[in-house]
Structure 1
């Protein structure tokens, strides 16, 4: 590389204003100059001026004007990637404070679907706590639909939940599958039956989840029922796993439940697993985060660790 080129690069590095790069990130994340102005609590004119200054310093057009949604030029995309990398490094400064500078500090907002059970998931949390004792988890339980809707708004959070369709604007990684089996409860006639065949289940009353509709997260259960001619009456609907267990236990009907959840409930001995012995459906559990929101260092580390955790059984 020539001396002149090195000098030009050094001059740009010395003069480039981080604030201008931050404005570019916000414009891209919000999708327009007006929305960026609202988020930054400054005028649209100020946002436009900052963008113009950045383009002048780089001597390149970064945004294609008058496009909806907003589009970046190729150099604009590259500049955005650089800006996001810088943002991640800046957020790490706070995390690296203190005498134990090798330990990350800070808080991660986790949105988690209720009643996710997997022994390996528990083992991962033990592992993560031991490795990063100064990271705090701010964990809120919500429905999978609510989690996905919140993440789509670029909320500063990471989600762990079910999803039948994977949103285009969210990154995702499969963590594990929850295997669903058919069960009856203590107060159901099949509980004490000597032998139960799959054919004997076809007309039994059924407990159904509201999310079993085609296209919803538990639709694999409905697909199995329809493909195997299970035609029994739906005796109860619920959107809550605990209530489904209660209804099955009290004999309202048979129903599909995740096996690993049953192993963790006090009613395990009062529920009987029914044929088929291989179960009826796998429902995948994913981790999600927004594609166009810069992750903090500890968010990136959590995602890196959980997706690489070797003890997860990805079936």
Structure 2
């Protein structure tokens, strides 16, 4: 494959071809990429060939049992994501060019982020800039970090297992997790229980409940309690984990401050440990390389100001 003059690549590269290649790389399939793009498979295959001709490199190795990017393909995908992140900001940036703050803010949030501080920031933002709009994307913590890194989200709020050097982190609040069961569970309503009483019980949990993931303290506690190693229900959504607990699939972890109302309503029962429950810190994730519109700057600044002005003891929930 003869390479065109490298200096011409920037001017000759077709954005639609690059966008198609990004979808192919993420879908790991020409067929699935065609479905996502609402195109016919030959059109997607042809776009890949045209892009390879344009850059003068093979970008993909695939056969019946293998689908992987070449070194050139990985490089182009990584840079393509950067380009996509920049271009995707243009409509929001252009809309915000006026005397009023009328931009849009996209926040990626882990599903169990329930914080009066965050709620206050949103309320103040809307009161001050009523013509601006907000989208909140609930996702697993790893996806939150990805959205922020790729500049698809204005900022993120989530648990953190490993810090990405390209992102900035600031602790928003600390929450404590407890184990709970629903009304149909055999331990519901029983007091004076110990961890030994949980041994062998079936459990449900979050997708991040692993020794090497964001809910490591909860995973260690599950192991200490000798709950059945086979988790029978999993979700990245707090509401769905709550549902699995209430309907009786098994014991599950929830933030104490979130479960308080359900305990009062009689739909959840707290189980051991009652002392020294595992603590989880929730962070604000920011990509300093993302160009923010005025609405994004205003909401982010408002949240950061509230964090700075609120003592840590008032940002600890359920302890």
TM-score by length of 2: 0.61
**Structure 2: distance between partners of 1:133 and 1:35:** 44
Q: Secondary structure at the match of 1:236?
A: strand
1:272: which partner in 2? 269
- Contact 2:154–2:292 under 8 Å retained in 1: no
* 1:291 lines up with 2:291 in the alignment: no
* 1:161 lines up with 2:162 in the alignment: no
* 1:237 lines up with 2:233 in the alignment: yes
- Contact 2:147–2:153 under 8 Å retained in 1: no
Gapped regions of structure 2 (runs ≥ 5): 1-6, 16-74, 76-92
Shift of 1:143: 2.5
**Structure 1: distance between partners of 2:288 and 2:13:** 18
1:211: which partner in 2? 208
Count of matched residue pairs = 230
* 1:97 lines up with 2:99 in the alignment: yes
1:189: which partner in 2? 186
Gapped regions of structure 1 (runs ≥ 5): 1-32, 42-68, 70-90, 99-103
**Structure 1: distance between partners of 2:269 and 2:171:** 29
Distance 1:35 1:131, change over 3 A: farther
Distance 1:289 1:35, change over 3 A: farther
Shift of 1:238: 0.6
Q: Secondary structure at the match of 2:187?
A: helix
Distance 1:39 1:105, change over 3 A: farther
**Structure 2: distance between partners of 1:170 and 1:35:** 30
**Structure 2: distance between partners of 1:206 and 1:117:** 23
Q: Secondary structure at the match of 1:155?
A: coil
2:315: which partner in 1? 314
Aligned-pair Cα RMSD in Å? 3.3
Q: Which moved more, 1:304-313 or 1:260-269?
A: 260-269
Distance 1:199 1:238, change over 3 A: same
Q: Secondary structure at the match of 1:283?
A: strand
Partner deviation per Cα, 1:36-75 (whole Å, 9 max, x = no partner): 768997xxxxxxxxxxxxxxxxxxxxxxxxxxx9xxxxxx
**Structure 1: distance between partners of 2:197 and 2:285:** 40
